Amino acid sequence: MTTKEVTKVKQEAQTSEHRSQFEQFWREFRKNRLSIVGAVIIGLTLFAAIFAPVIAPHDPATQFDAPEGEHNPLPPGSTLLVEGESNAEITAYLGTDNHGRDLLSRMIFGLRTLMMISIGVNLVAMTVGITLGAIAGYLGNSWVDETIMRAMDIILSFPSLILAIAIIGILGAGKTDYGWIVVPNLAKIIFVIGFAYIPRFARVMRSAVLKEMEEDYVDAAKSLGASDSHILTRDILVNTIPIVVVQATLYMATAVLASAGLSFLGLGLQPPTASLGLMLSNARSFVYSGQWWFPVFPGLALMIIILGFNLLGDGLRDALDPRYSQEGSNDQ
């Protein structure tokens, strides 16, 4: 066989292997029908977040005229007058908030900011946490491992939301101008929550690396003269990707809850930015006054998104980590 033929055979073998791995993943993933429900929920949420300007019926910051100058939230299906245009009317399908803004539009744009924060938080936490955890696990039982993990334990000793509130209190809410750089509020929220979640990824990665270090392929790679960086990045990290993906999916739900909690407390995104947590905060004074739609719809949206991430994470865990499924079946 010529060199080109050998290369072609290898490429076909790799393609076939990748296809078989995907087919195996999909076969395991679809066994759990609730994970499909979670994937659909998150898929629709991402779609709404990406195409928010197209899907939202109105500008989320526009304050429409309320009949007779009322400032109470108007019920779903209310007809609103467009200021400055004669005989122009629109329909608020989910009602309005206390400023006369369309609730549905603000919720859709709130999904965009929520997903941006959740994805950004996980990227920050994963990048730093995986790096520190991999180094600590590979060097195991050394002063580097002890230093990294004791630092992670110190951060973990504080509840995530309390730690985020403390850091926000130090940095200040809202956009901050440090002279040489301007940090927007969104970036600050991502950094604060991401910092609080770094230890979780570091501990998971360290335990996964320690487990992989016991495998024979690591000793074989060392005997062949492979460098530590090559073994860690090309072999060990590749085999720990499924665990990281599962953890990232599950922590997306906690990041959603944390960002909404900060906004609810007035320490997250600031008005007039659309935020589900901020909408719930504004709706507190209307809970007992009969305007049920104002707190209910944003609250339901948060609950469904968090449920979707948890269902999706459970499905990915079962599909990407067969050992977990085997242990679960043995326990039963």
CA-angle at 187, arms to 307 and 124, nearest 5° = 65
Residue 81 φ/ψ, nearest 5 degrees? -95, 135
DSSP 91: E
Report the C-alpha gap between 189 and 111 in whole angstroms.
15
Global pTM reads: 0.79
More confident residue, 125 or 86: 125
Q: Which amino acid is at 54?
A: V
CA atoms within 13 A on the CB side of 202: 27
Q: What is the greatest pairwise CA distance in the chain?
A: 86
Report the C-alpha gap between 186 and 117 in whole angstroms.
7
- CA 79, 85, 88, 89: dihedral to nearest 10 degrees? -10
What are the pLDDT digits (tens) for 29-82?
777 788 889 889 999 999 999 999 999 888 888 777 654 445 677 788 877 766
C-alpha distances (whole Å) from 127 to each of 114, 122, 158, 194, 278 are: 20, 8, 21, 10, 29
Report the C-alpha gap between 247 and 121 in whole angstroms.
13
Helices (H) and strands (E) in the chain, counts: 13, 4
Tokens of 248: 């990232």
Report the C-alpha gap between 39 and 50 in whole angstroms.
16
Work out the burial of residue 68: count CB atoms within 10 Å of its CB; fewer than 13 is exposed, 13-18 middle, 19 or more buried: exposed
Q: How confident is the model at residue 198 (pLDDT cuts 50, 70, 90)?
A: very high
Contact 276, 108 (CB under 8 A): no
What are the pLDDT digits (tens) for 240-282?
888 888 888 888 888 888 888 888 887 777 777 888 888 888 8
Q: How confident is the model at residue 15 (pLDDT cuts 50, 70, 90)?
A: low
